[in-house]
Structure formats: C-alpha cells, structure tokens
Structure 1
Amino acid sequence: TSTSTSTSTSGTPPEPRAGTGPGTRGTPPGPRGDSGPGGSGDGAAARPLVVCVGRLCRQKGQDVLLRAWEDVLGVLPGARLVLVGDGPEDTALRRQAPPSVRFTGAVADVVPWYRAADLVVLPSRWEGMALAPLEALGCGRPVVVTDVDGARESLPPALAAHCLVPPEDPVALAGAITALLSDRPLRVALGAQGRRHVLTRHDVRHTAEQITAVYRELLGRAPTASDATAQPVPSECRESIHS
C-alpha cells in the first residue's frame, strides 16, 4: 500500500509513515531524444506513440484502451498504440484493434519501449501493486493510470489531475490520452515530476532503507555503523520484476 502505520511497543501510535511500496531496480534511465523501437520519444507532432505494458488479460484492461483508442484517433488520426506483452486475450484484442495498433508479444526488456513512448497507459480493472507506471515514470515518461488500488499509489499527488481516470471508462481514458498527447510541454513537465518521485520514493535502495527502519523500530534499536556501510543488493541478484 502507499501509506502505512504501525503501533509502537509503548502503546502510543507513531506518526504515519510513507509506505515501503515496491522499488525500481537501481536508478531508472532518464529521458533521451533517440527514437527507440519504432517510436519518436519526443512527441513527434502528427504521430505520437502510446505504449501499454502488461499481460494481455482482462485485469489489465487493454480492451478498454482499444475502445478509447477509437476516440483518440478521431482527434489524432496519426497516433500509434503499442501493446507490449502476451497473454490469454491476445487473439481477441488483435481482432478488436485497428491498424494503428501494434502487438509486440513477450518482450525481455521493456525499457526501450518506455523510452520510445510519448505516453504510457495502464488501464487496469484492478491491481496488486503496479510496477509498469513506476518504470515509465522512472524513464521520465508521463503515464495515465486507472483509479484503482495498486495503481493510483504510483502517482505523485501533483500528477493525479492529469493522469488518473476511472476504471472501465473509455471516454475518460480517451480524454486524458488526447489531452496529454496534444500538450508536449505538459507531458515533459509531468514526466520530470514523475521521475523525481520515483528516484526519491521508489528506488530499491530507498525502499530497503525504509524496510530496515521499520525493523529497527520493531526491534527497538538505533541504527548501527554496520547499517550505514551495508551495500545494496547487486542488480544481477535481484529477481526480475517481469518474471
């Protein structure tokens, strides 16, 4: 969850603490101007690229996104959509999709797609704790997510007005997508805010420090010198967030 509280051994409720949430692996790459796989990465005026990363299943709501996409194309006929991932709804979604939608299938490394995107969308019906928006924000890309537990927590408060939509509402989703694709300065600003949020709140090292602080409080001890010199877990030893 995005916020948590605990009860101290003295029986006095402590101050609320920001939740320890998931961490992204190391420092995510920032924005850059190159194009990546089939995308512009800079809001190319007539052909902006929207990317949706996730398993192709009912939970992730790609069918809602495809319904919204019809309205997006009505305003921005050159817009492109890429669905990154595979899953049980692949065939049905391909039947529903117009020619401007590309399916990648399973992808080992999704970061190039985030970096190629002008906007990343997560239209989930429900979530546990969504990592895709954190990864996208870490790459400096703005996101649109649905207002469901596990997704809304990924957004810093300043982004909610532009980036949070009701679940299963293709009209609202299309409106948010169209508004952001039509406003490059706003996308850049939101992406920068989101990246700062991820680096300060969701980097795996920060998350590890938060968890350590919780255990210290539960054990009733102060930080030690060994805590200060502890090394972060090497990237190669961490479980892939896409497994």
Structure 2
Amino acid sequence: MSNCLRVAMIIQSYYPRVGGAERQIASLAPLLQRDGVELQVLTRRYPGLSRFEMIGGVPVHRLPVPGPKPAAALVFTLAALPVLRRFSPHLVHAHELLSPASTALAARRMFGTPAVAKVLRSGSLGDLAKLRKRPMGARRIQALVTGLDAFITISREIEAELAAAGAPAEKLVFIPNGVDSRRFAPLAEPERQALRRSLGIDGGPAVLFTGRMSAEKRLDQLVRLWPQVRQAHPQATLLLVGEGEQRPELEQAGGKGVRLIPPVDDVAPYLQAADLFVLPSATEGLSNALLEAMAAGLAVVATSVGGASDVIEQGVSGRLVPPDRPDLLLEAINGLLAGPELRRRFGQAGRERMISEYSLPSVAGRLKELYERIYFGSDILA
C-alpha cells in the first residue's frame, strides 16, 4: 500500500479571502505535501474568482453557492460530491461544523470516505451554537457525532462542548493551530527601533491588535477604554491592523492615540515593533493572531475564552481576564505598560512555549498521524 495519502480539505472560504483557518491550511500544506500528503481544497466560489486555481502548489476548487443559506449549503454539497469522486481522497478534512462538515458526512455515507472535522470556535458564537440555531440543528449535530470518524479540537473548551453534545472521547483529538516561530522571531533592539520609525510608531508604548475586525472581537470596547489607558500612559498608541465589518464604526469612534491600519500581507513587522498584544474577544477558537504575537515574543493580554486559556499561562506568559470585565482588561493593560521587565519575561516565556508546543512541523506531524490512524489503521504505518 502506498504511503501517499490523498486528503480533500473543505472550507467555507479560501485565498484570497483570508482568516485564521485559511492561513492554517496555507501554512501547513507545504509541510504535509513534503511528508507525502496530496492535498486538494474545496471551497465556495465568490464573485470575481475563478472556478479553479493552483495556490501554493495546492489545487483549489471553487464551487457555486447561489440562493439563500439553507439552499446554498445543499448546493455546495451537491457540487462538491462529483469533485470528491474524481479526486478519490483517502480522507476528507472539513474545517467547521456547518456546510463543510455536512459535505464531509455526505462523502462518508456515499463513498465510504473517512471524514474528520476541525471545530473552529466555541461559545455562544461557536460552531455548535450556530448549528443548533439552524433547521434540524439537533439532528444534524447527532448525525455528525455518530457519522464522522474524528473531531479535531483546538481548545479544551471545544473538546468539552463536543463531549457534552455526545461525541465519544475516542473521537476527540486535540491538535492546536500551529505558528511559524522563525517568521515572527523578535528583532535586536537597534533593528526594532528602526522598524518602529519606518512604521511611524513614536517613542511611546505600542499596544497591538491584528486580525478580523468583527463584533465578537470587541474592539469597540477596547477603543472606549483607550482614553483611560492614555490617562495613565499619555504616549501609548493603540494599533488596530486588519479589516472587517466593524472597521467603519471603529474609524468613527477612534480618538487620540488610536491608529487603524489597513490589512497587510505580512503582520510580522507590526508584531516585532509592538510592546504589548491585546485580544479582547467575546469568543474564539484558537486565535492565530495570539499565537503569532507570542511567537514574536510579545507579552499578551487576552480574554479567557477558547484556546487562550490553554495557551497563556496566567502570570507566566500573559494576563487572562474574563470577557465581561472591561475594568480588569484596563487594569491588565495598564499594569503591563507600567512594567517593561514583566513584559519582557512574559514575552520570552510565551515564545519558548510556541517553539516547543505549537510549531508548524509538530502540528503537521500530528495531523498526518491522525490521517494515517484513521485511514490505514494504527499498525500499518508504524
């Protein structure tokens, strides 16, 4: 039997639409391919995009999804099945429990193709919560729990939600997101200061957010807190890097010391130039932006939702605060801005953890191991 595995990845959107899940696929694809995994991506086709494209050496099939949401999910599945039949993958890997997982389950039933689903988010805006609100949501969850071969969980919170929904423990596999620690390596101080000047960051401390500007990130709350941060640290600047539906509101609300920066292809320079990273989300899966910040050696302040509680060691690599306590968020930001030596220690501890536990090669290896265990059986490729 050949050791080459064919894996079809199904995701709601893909490049040039970029989010955390898309970046994970793009980052892991070269490592998986180098290790003998042949990949193809199936995603939705948005206006202006071609039906087929090679991206980073991976074939990407974009499928039409006209009509309202319930019909669109069905149309996507029906369009995906012929593509899957032609590719004949050994395994289907869905990213999200909505239409990608439903399509994977359909392939499992029609072709007998083993299928796994990665659950992207937990909480009130998470995958399971969204699915429960859909028509026949409870039945769909039960079908996925019984029909899929495994669930990839990126946080212990997601793992607990799946267990409560009836997923057997043997189907739950914890594999976190990965991060390229070399790409985000901290700079020597002279280089860092030169970079800050080139980015227009003055001598005061820079507090950074990178990512999607959507409601669940609660950036509006952070902007409202900023005048109080400036009272304690008059030279502090808040840098918000990204795009999203909340950006126009943030542009109107932003005051002195708040800079909104358009999305950039590479966030590494901003991470290397900043002094502190803040993630004030109401809900998360495992934030790639958080992992990148820690890989860059930044101290972090984050709400204790999703994978942040797994990644950040309270008082060792950062500060965790409850998502409904803006007063504690303010206190944590001000405390770390006042303590450069504490920031340095937190940043160093966080980077060391990213290197040892969240490296891309480690995550890619764990994924391939899961694929092999499900398709070949645990004793064939030992």
Q: Which residue of 1 aligns with 2:366?
A: 210
- Between Structure 1 and Structure 2, the one with more strand by share is 2
Return structure 1 stretches of 4+ with deviation > 6 angstroms: none
SS in 2 for 1:159: coil
CA contact (8 A) 2:184 2:292 kept: no
TM-score scaled by length of structure 2: 0.50
**Partners of 1:206 and 1:87 in 2: how far apart?**
31
**Partners of 1:157 and 1:173 in 2: how far apart?**
14
CA contact (8 A) 1:26 1:203 kept: yes
**Partners of 1:29 and 1:53 in 2: how far apart?**
14
- Aligned counterpart for 1:90 among listed residues 223, 247, 264: 247
TM-score scaled by length of structure 1: 0.77
Mark the runs of 5 or more structure 1 residues left unpaired by the alignment: 6-12, 225-243
Matched, 1:185 2:341: yes
Matched, 1:19 2:174: yes
SS in 1 for 2:316: helix
SS in 2 for 1:164: strand
- Aligned counterpart for 2:352 among listed residues 196, 208, 211: 196
Aligned length, in residue pairs: 209
Shift of 1:56: 1.6
Percent of residue pairs identical: 32
SS in 2 for 1:67: helix
Deviations 1:126-177 (A, max 9, x none): 11221111001101111111111133233245537x4111114221111101
Q: Which residue of 2 aligns with 1:239?
A: none
The letter of the residue matching 1:29 is F
Report the structure number with the largest CA radius of gyration: 2
Answer with 125-134 or 209-218: which moved more: 209-218
Q: Per the alignment, do residues 101 and 204 of structure 1 end up closer, same or farther by CA in structure 2, a change over 3 Å counting?
A: same
**Partners of 2:353 and 2:234 in 1: how far apart?**
33
Mark the runs of 5 or more structure 2 residues left unpaired by the alignment: 1-153, 161-168
**Partners of 1:135 and 1:24 in 2: how far apart?**
6
Answer with 208-217 or 71-80: which moved more: 208-217
SS in 2 for 1:82: strand
**Partners of 1:79 and 1:163 in 2: how far apart?**
19
Q: Per the alignment, do residues 133 and 205 of structure 1 end up closer, same or farther by CA in structure 2, a change over 3 Å counting?
A: same
Shift of 1:222: 7.1
CA contact (8 A) 1:64 1:168 kept: no
Answer with 164-173 or 146-155: which moved more: 146-155
CA contact (8 A) 1:126 1:150 kept: no
Matched, 1:171 2:327: yes
**Partners of 2:181 and 2:319 in 1: how far apart?**
25
